[in-house]
Copies of this chain bind each other. A is one copy, B any other.
């Protein structure tokens, strides 16, 4: 049993948190949770994402085994993205964290207000 939390022990957890915490991954995973979508459908569904970031984020999710990419060799090409069982199972702890955020969001926002307030006060 290790007595404290090390970079080694935390790094894999942090990597997953960083992936899901990046700008677009969460949105993609959650929207794919409703069912498979093709590239253009994702782009329409997720407001404001660029083609570049959609591609890059999907590649990252695919690389980690969260998303399955399926190409239908039609003309024009059709590519469908779906959550893998691994990606789907990730939704559970992520939803738990989402629940925690919803329950504590006002406390966080209050803390931010207080923090800014004290900074102003200290500056006077």
Report copies per complex: 2
Interface residues of A in 1-44 (CB under 8 A from B): 4-7, 10, 12-14, 16-23, 26-27, 30-31, 34
Chain A contact residues: helix, strand, loop or mixed: helix
| Contact call A14/B31, Cβ cutoff below 8 A | no
List 11 extra interface pairs beyond A10-B26, A65-B107, A94-B97, CB under 8 A.
Answer: A6-B47, A7-B47, A13-B97, A14-B26, A16-B101, A18-B21, A20-B21, A89-B104, A90-B100, A90-B104, A93-B93
A residues contacting B by CB (< 8 A) are 4-7, 10, 12-14, 16-23, 26-27, 30-31, 34, 45-48, 62-65, 86, 89-90, 92-94, 96-102, 104-105, 107-108, 110-112, 114-115
